[in-house]
Every structure is written in structure tokens, then in C-alpha cells.
Structure 1
Amino acid sequence: MAGEARHQGALLSAGVLLGTGLGGFVDGILLHQILQWHHMLSSRLPPTELVPMKINMFWDGLFHAFTWLTTVIGLGLLWRAGQRPEVPWSTRTFVGSLSIGWGLFNVVEGLIDHQLLGIHHVHPGEAQLAWDIGFLFFGALLIVGGGALVRAGREDTLPRGVVPPVL
């Protein structure tokens, strides 16, 4: 696209929101539901009886509603970005922004819910601080790796609709 202005911003914002929502779904589905390591309020209101469990399930539902809404908004932004010819359609930029979004979810959620508010921990017990730090570290790695992909994606100049040659 020589001579045309190219803007990654629309694809970046869509990918970051989608990555945030998808990262939240991984957390909620894997850690809350499948492994049942924690629920939204499990440190403040241990779900050992029916009423506390129902309250935790309600807050888990609100959490899932938030991740669903974030994902839907990200899809809307992705749709709009796809309509704009000046937006580079770069796999590296998109995957990088998804990674940044997931990493931001982990870091923000980990700092606020696990560390500041202490409403739950990744895996409660003797090693809960190690699990919480690992969650933050994984988020930081996703952000750094995603940033590297986004920077590399700045070089992607293949016009939309052109299939790259297979090597």
C-alpha cells in the first residue's frame, strides 16, 4: 500500500478487547468452573455452604457477563476495522493485540482481585502467593510477546485480499 496511510489502531483496539474478553473466559471457565480453584468472592465468602456458593455463583455470572460484553464490543470493533481500507489486515498485529489483551486481563485482575482486594487467589492454600505471582508473570509475558508481534506487524504491507506465496 505504497503512498497510503496505514493505521494499526483500529485492529489493535479490537484485538486488545477480544483478548481481554477471551482471557477472562479462560480464567472463568478453567479456574472457576472446571478446576474450581476459586470463585469471585471465595476468599471473603468461602463457598462451603449453599448460600455462600449461590452468592459466589452470582458474582461469577457478573464476571462472565463482563467478559462476554468485552468480547462482543471487540467483535464490533473488529468488524468496523475490517471495513476500513487503511487498516492493515496483519495476523501478527492481530495475534499480538489478542495476547496483549489477555495479558492485561491477567495483570489488572491479578493485581486488583488477588493482591489489593484479596477477594480470591488463583489457587488458595500454602502456595497461593506463588500461584498469584505466576498468574501475573504469565500476563506480563503475554504483554511483552504481544508487543513484539505488534511491532513486527508494522512491517506487514500485503494489501488486503492478496494471498502470500507459499514457500
Structure 2
Amino acid sequence: MTTASVGPEEAGRGGLPATLIWAGYALGFGLGGFFDGILLHQILQWHHLLSGLEEARQDIRLLILTDGLFHALMYVIAAAGLWLLWRSRAAFAVSGADRLLFANAMIGFGSWHILDSVLSHWILGIHRIRMDVDNQLFWDLLWFVVFGLVPLALGAYFRGNGKGGAGRRVPKGPAGLALAVLIAGALAALPAPDDGTVMVVFGPGATPAQAMQGLEASGGRLLWSHASETVWAVDISGGGDANRFYDHGALLISNSILPAGCLDWTRL
């Protein structure tokens, strides 16, 4: 049986390349960010990135924008991890490589949640895990332990017990992590379950008259509008067609033919 050749300039823990080690950290960190953004920002809607800032809460466009920038950053980190994983592909045949990759990914995953808790929740105060409860610290600490300390400890355990034969290796580690990153990224852009409410963002040149014409053409009912009249929440549960807004100056429409990521999951 042949094993991958690893140059001394690249050698890291146990003779494995440093690129493989950092690939695990980056992939885990990116997956931690995706997990946070998809579950807390979009599905549960417990907070947005800047929910702790009063001025930001007054502008839904800013909340959507910053959530989108956050996801873009996680894409970059995850892409860097995939690139490092590709560069270290020759080391996949080395005994213990997949176990180390999995362990480092767990460490990266936990590190994201620890960093987010300390920096975003307690130092900067830009958001908390749950913004709608009285005891916010309880939820912060619960999340910190379950998704921060526990994965970090498990990753450290797997690293410390990674020596030995192939019987203890985590199967399909590189392929599994790569697939998880790709799936997590795709999930961030999926539309939310249709409840009859859509968010409509109008382009810079759209006029209030055009917007009202779009509302009439869609057969919907206006629920809410931003002070700038550029973002509307429309009820189309009566059988309306939100896509008609595209003929009247709309730039993006949630749950439509042009999925809009975080916008799809925004609710009043």
C-alpha cells in the first residue's frame, strides 16, 4: 500500500501537510457561520446580525444587507477551506488524515460560536442569541456551551486520540466536509415556506405610482412599507401573482422566480 508523499516544508501534525490542517479549521469555521446564519437568522429568526443596534432595527434593508455580507464572508472562508483541501488531496491516503480533518473541522465549528458569543454578544453587543426574551444571557450561555465548547472539546479529543490504525478513522472525511459546505451554502439561498407574504424591493428608479400599479396587478394587499417606499411586505394569500411586480419596477421579490437569500426568510 502506498502513502502520499509530504514535503518537509509542508509537514504539520503527524507528518500531514499544514494545508490539510488549516482546511479543517476553515471548513469548520465556515460551517459554523452557515449554521448560525441559516438557523438563527432565517429559519428561527431569533436575530439578525445587527439586531442589537436600535438604528439598524429601523431599516430592514440594512438588516438584510448585513446578513448577506455575513453569509458572503462565510462563503469566502469555506471556499478557502475547499481550496486548501484540494491542495492537500495527496495526503488523503495517509493514515489518520481524515480523522484529523474531522477533528479540526469540529474545532473550527466550535471556535466560530465561541468567537461570536464573546465578540458579538458580550463585547460589541450587536446581537444576542434571542432578542425576544427577558433572560438573554441564559440563551447566550446555552449556545456558547452546546455549539461552542462541546464541539471544541470533541475536536480536541479526536485530535488527541488520532494515532492508530485505520479502524478508528472517520470514513469519507474530506468528501463529507466538502459536501456539507456545498449543501450549507445552497440552503442559505433556498426560499422559505410560502405563507402568502412576500417582500418586494423596488429598484432606484421605481416611483410610488409604479409600485401601486404593481400592487393592483398582483392582486395582493399591502401589509407594510418602509419609509423610503422601496421595501414592501405584500399579502398574496388570496391567489395573487407577486411576479407582476417585476413589470412595475421591482428589483427583488422573495419566494419568486429570483430567490433572494435572506430576503426570502424575512417576516414581519
Q: Specify the TM-score bucket, using the shorter chain as the normaliser.
A: 0.7 to 0.9
- Which residue of structure 2 aligns with residue 165 of structure 1? none
Given that 2:33 and 2:112 are in contact with CA atoms closer than 8 Å, whether structure 1 keeps it comes out as: yes
Query: Which of 80, 84, 87 is 1:80 aligned to?
Result: 87
- The Cα of 1:23 is off from its aligned counterpart by 0.7
- The Cα of 1:90 is off from its aligned counterpart by 2.7
- Which residue of structure 1 aligns with residue 39 of structure 2? 30
Higher helix share: 1
When normalised by structure 2's length, the TM-score is 0.53
Given that 1:18 and 1:101 are in contact with CA atoms closer than 8 Å, whether structure 2 keeps it comes out as: yes
When normalised by structure 1's length, the TM-score is 0.82
The code of the aligned residue for 1:142 comes to P
- The Cα of 1:89 is off from its aligned counterpart by 5.3
Given that 1:104 and 1:143 are in contact with CA atoms closer than 8 Å, whether structure 2 keeps it comes out as: yes
Report Cα offsets for 1:64-111 as digits up to 9, x if no partner.
011000000000001111134796553321211111001000001110
Rounded to whole Å, the distance in 1 between the matches of 2:41 and 2:24 is 24
Rounded to whole Å, the distance in 1 between the matches of 2:80 and 2:92 is 21
- Which residue of structure 2 aligns with residue 144 of structure 1? 153
Higher strand share: 2
Percent identity (aligned):
35
Rounded to whole Å, the distance in 1 between the matches of 2:74 and 2:115 is 14
Report Cα offsets for 1:123-143 as digits up to 9, x if no partner.
122121011111211201111
**Bigger radius of gyration, 1 or 2?**
2
- Which residue of structure 2 aligns with residue 164 of structure 1? none
How many residues are treated as equivalent by the alignment? 154
Rounded to whole Å, the distance in 1 between the matches of 2:165 and 2:81 is 22
Off by >6 Å, runs of 4+ in structure 1: none
Report Cα offsets for 1:43-80 as digits up to 9, x if no partner.
1137765xx11101111111101100000000000111
- The Cα of 1:8 is off from its aligned counterpart by 5.7
Query: Which of 129, 134, 141 is 2:137 aligned to?
Result: 129
Query: Which of 12, 21, 30 is 1:21 aligned to?
Result: 30
SS at match of 2:87: helix
Given that 1:7 and 1:86 are in contact with CA atoms closer than 8 Å, whether structure 2 keeps it comes out as: no
SS at match of 1:63: helix
- The Cα of 1:114 is off from its aligned counterpart by 0.4
Query: Which of 109, 122, 128 is 2:116 aligned to?
Result: 109
Q: How big is the alpha-carbon RMSD for the aligned residues of Structure 1 and Structure 2?
A: 2.3
Rounded to whole Å, the distance in 1 between the matches of 2:156 and 2:92 is 23
Q: Which runs of no fewer than 5 residues in structure 2 stay unpaired?
A: 7-13, 168-268
1:55 lines up with 2:35 in the alignment: no
Given that 2:51 and 2:57 are in contact with CA atoms closer than 8 Å, whether structure 1 keeps it comes out as: no
